[in-house]
Structure 1
């Protein structure tokens, strides 16, 4: 079943601070900690299909608009839960 992008999904924000990049140069790095230039490369070359692509594109838009600070409370919460 395809992921419905027409509705908001707050759980995506939680996944941005918990999910690790599954491949590439930044394998095992938390998605919200990926460098800007890496997300920009995906934006130019094409985001992967599926949920990973949606998460990476969401992170790109967050960083592009200077909104990374919105993830700080979730990051802190995630650190406490470990």
Structure 2
């Protein structure tokens, strides 16, 4: 069975991109609370790149993989 490797470009975006709107505007995507990400899961993630990044962040947090991001934070 082949293990999927995380895309380093996507991981980098999670630690530099800020939420562009809403309650957590200007908070880094990697610092968004799980309950906010779960809200998007229930209501629907935004279209496009932002939605993909938010969904990726939820998967990372739900699986206890936030350590993947630690070396990328500046």
Q: TM-score, normalised by structure 1?
A: 0.81
Measured after TM superposition, the shift of residue 35 of structure 1 is 0.5
Give per-residue Cα distances to partners, 1:1-31, cap 9 Å, x unaligned.
xxxxxxx642110000000000000000000
Q: TM-score, normalised by structure 2?
A: 0.89
Structure 1 stretches of at least 4 aligned residues deviating more than 3 Å after TM superposition? none
RMSD (Å), alpha carbons: 1.0
Partner residue of 1:17? Answer: 15
Structure 2: runs of 5 or more not aligned: 1-5
Structure 1: runs of 5 or more not aligned: 1-7
Q: In 1, Cα distance between the equivalents of 2:68 and 2:11?
A: 9
